[in-house]
Chains A and B, each alone.
Chain A
Amino acid sequence: MSGAAAHGSPVRSANGAGGDASALRCEACRVALEGEWSVCPLCAGPVAGRGVSPSPFSDPPLAYSRRRVLQVLFLVSLALIGGSFAAQLFFRPQIDGIGPLRSVWLGIAAMWLVVLMAVRRRRTIARGIFYLMVITSAVCVYWDYLTGWHGWALAYAVPIVFSCAILGVVLLALLFRADRGAHVVFSWITVLLGLLPVAFFAFGWTVQAIPSVICGAIAVIAVVLLQVLRGQELHHELERTIHV
């Protein structure tokens, strides 16, 4: 009984496995099954015959369900975060004392939301970047509104967040080789939204030109880069996505 390879020794012949002909079997896998099965535990295909031998496993009920635990945690988190944001509407910016408290409260809620989204979308990176961009920007705009609308969100925060997101999807397009098609649509949406801050300026919503212009320039460069590097893939992906 050494580790591996100790098995050269001859073994007395025969069987012990196999069972009788009427026993439960999966014909696709050509195996006999122990215990009661309505489908084959290997291929989930149909089984034939009757279960004659008991299963050696006791199969106790689930101690908990990872999926349900995560689901509950997610919903509770969303409720708490949503509640935190909504509760801010009851406070006026002038009320003494709520100012610093609100910053801490909103800061924690916003961070929680960002982490939640990042974890939930960790497998679809471009989509995750897009969600983060939208959530972070929305939180900034809301925060600006709550604190008396000084315009910092549209002038600085949104262009900066959008610029970072665009850099993110460009890096994604350059670095990731596997399954690029999945990223391509959200990458393009992110980049095109990068032109939005320029519109803020054009509509006169903000008077700070520089951040918006920088963001717009980054977006234009990204459009060119993506078109050159991944234009073909976008074409194929769109063909599939909007196929009617």
Chain B
Amino acid sequence: MSRPAWVRLDNASNIFLAARSDSDPKVFRLSAEMDAPVGPDVLQEALDATFDRFPLYHAVLRQGLFWHYLQDSDLRPQVQPDVLPSCSALYFPGEAALMFRVVHRENRIALEVFHALSDGTGALWFLTELLVDYCRRREAEPGPAMVPEAAAASGPTVAPAPSSAPGHGLSADSFGSYFRRRRVPKPPSRDSAMARAFGEAAASSLQAADTAAMPAAPDAPEAAEPRRSGVLRARGTRTPDARTHAIELSMPAKQVIALAKSEGASLSMYLVALFFESVRATATGRGARAGSGDGPGAHRTLAVSVPVNLRQFFPSDSARNFFATVRLAHTYGEGDDSLAAVAADLEEQFRPRIAPEALGERLRRLIRLEQMPLLRILPWPVKDAALSAANHLTNRGLTIAISNMGRVVLPEPAEAHVRRMYLQVSAARPQFCSMSHGETLTISFTSPFVEADHVRAFARHLTAHGVKVQVAANRVREDELAQVHA
């Protein structure tokens, strides 16, 4: 390779750089629980093979004068035992390192990705290929390695990712290919009108739009949101060394879906409504701090940031960030505040906001901004400062964030060997990510705070309604950790 390939980091991804902090390094983790302990050597072989098919993942992040850019590298990833806290930082300015890691512990394989590189969907593609390759190699091994117990199970086998890889390269920036400089390539699918709505604008929508996309949406600035000042913000004691507090709930998906249905709500909105209620119930007292007036009495509005995968509107096989966020809010005390009513209110706000026209309108505005020549010639530290300030403002209007990956079905032979799957993100505020695989729904709560009161309220509501919930959590308090390491 004479000269390494490189590509400018789109603004969407840039916001992850700007919004990064000690407690929220903008890293997310996708993990899969296997039916047998993980073999590191086989995993390394599978990783090597998968890595070769995803040039994007070869990239390191470098600083230019006006932008950051992704540059191809000769680095190779090493499978590591999972010894760091979940979602630990992956990017350190000035250090040319890969922006992802693959770790294993007991039965679990986890892929951690710096959000500037890829979003949840892109990462799921990588993990899917890794798992398929790993399972093939394990099955080919002599001996009792893995017996596909459920191989005969029927059901749809939907690979979530295109497997051969035109879009897995460095330059496949979907924002760019759809929107930059009015070169609007025909979207490969049905809704070209929708695409055009975005299309006129340029690549920068990414910034806000794409930013929001998958897990850790750093909350792109959004237009015209009402009454940010009255929004309840969760407070708490920060963890002693800024590690993410992670609590995983796993439960039979069917039971929760039935519960949501009984309230007349979709699963996502039901979970958000329940999260709202849990935060609200537990913010009283402790959350109401002198001077800042955080009690739910003063702040009756709760707001959530929800990422939307743009690939569903603009077919793309790029593994780079391609999402937008939508902010939904509910003000309590102005009518029916039952779970069903809150879920219905959120659903009502959500539907029109993810209409292609609405998304396009927002993206167009953002793209116009990014394309302004005056802004383009600002050095990146200035851009970062502006993005960081915008992010800070957006944060003030948010109580929680969520991300729902939906139901994942892996290609065989992975499907038969993978049990639960999890998505976790480093979090600047209480957050949950849900996904389901097989018959199990997992909801991973993450938070920068030691307190878990909202998770307790959430779990107790579910168990009180007959849902079987299993809990795993990491330890974050100084005394707990001292006990473990005594």
Contact = CB atoms under 8 A, between A and B. Distances in A.
Interface string A1-42: 111111111111111111100000010011111110010011
B485 interface: yes
Contacts of B463: 29-31
Contact of A42 (B266, B459, B478): B459
Interface in A49-64: 54-64
Interface string B46-69: 000000000000000000000000
Contacts of A17: 250-252, 440, 468-470
| From A2, A67, A124, A125, residue with most partner B Cβ within 10 Å | A2
B414 to A, nearest CB: 16
Given A32-B469, A34-B471, A8 B267 contact: yes
A137 B28 CA distance: 51
Contacts of A61: 481, 485
Given A19-B470, A178-B291, A7 B155 contact: no
B469 to A, nearest CB: 5
B224 interface: no
A110 B140 CA distance: 73
B83 interface: yes
B253 interface: yes
A241 interface: no
Interface string A210-236: 000000000000000000000000000
Contacts of A29: 456, 459-460, 463, 471
Interface string A43-78: 100000000001111111111111100000000000
A243 interface: no
Given A30-B464, A34-B470, A64-B241, A43 B456 contact: yes
Find the residue from B108, B254, B420, B471 having the highest chain A CB count within 10 A.
B471
A141 interface: no
Nearest to A37: B473
A32 B124 contact: no
Contacts of A182: 290
B475 interface: yes
B469 A31 contact: yes
Contact of A16 (B83, B248, B250, B405): B250
B25 interface: no
B332 interface: no
Nearest to B440: A16
A59 B471 contact: no
Contacts of B452: 41-42
B312 interface: yes
A9 B158 CA distance: 13
A56 B238 CA distance: 22
A10 B84 CA distance: 36
Contacts of B191: none
Nearest to B120: A1
A202 B254 CA distance: 82
Nearest to B467: A17
Contacts of B249: 31
Given A1-B160, A5-B268, A125 B291 contact: yes
Interface centre among B33, B121, B456, B484 (most CB of A within 10 A): B456
A63 B242 CA distance: 9
Interface in B108-151: 108, 120-121, 124
A19 B420 CA distance: 14
B379 interface: no
A193 B323 CA distance: 59
B301 interface: no
Nearest to A124: B290
Contacts of A14: 252, 254, 439
Contacts of B289: 123, 178-179
B6 interface: no
A72 to B, nearest CB: 14
B475 A59 contact: yes
A65 B404 contact: no
B309 A3 contact: yes
Contacts of A64: 240-241
B247 interface: yes
Interface string B193-225: 000000000000000000001100000000000
Interface in B298-322: 298, 306-309, 311-312
A66 B469 contact: no
Given A17-B468, A31-B469, A60 B298 contact: no
A23 B380 CA distance: 53
Contacts of B33: 56
Contact of B472 (A15, A30, A57, A176): A57
Interface in A170-184: 176-179, 182-183
A2 B309 contact: yes
Contacts of A124: 290-291
A66 B243 CA distance: 11
Contacts of A66: 238-242
Contacts of A59: 85, 474-475, 481, 484
Contacts of A3: 213-214, 306-309, 323, 326, 354, 403-404
A40 to B, nearest CB: 8
A34 B419 contact: no
A41 B403 CA distance: 23
Given A11-B253, A31-B469, A124-B290, A58 B481 contact: no
16 contacts: A3-B307, A3-B308, A4-B403, A6-B406, A11-B257, A11-B407, A29-B459, A31-B463, A31-B471, A32-B470, A33-B471, A54-B106, A56-B105, A58-B83, A59-B484, A178-B295
Given A2-B311, A6-B407, A12-B155, 8 more contacts: A2-B406, A3-B214, A7-B268, A32-B468, A58-B83, A66-B240, A67-B478, A178-B295
Interface of B: 31, 33, 81-86, 105-106, 108, 120-121, 124, 155, 160, 213-214, 238-243, 246-254, 257, 266-269, 272, 288-295, 298, 306-309, 311-312, 323, 326, 347, 350, 354, 402-408, 419-420, 434-436, 438-441, 452, 455-456, 459-460, 463-464, 468-475, 478, 481, 483-485
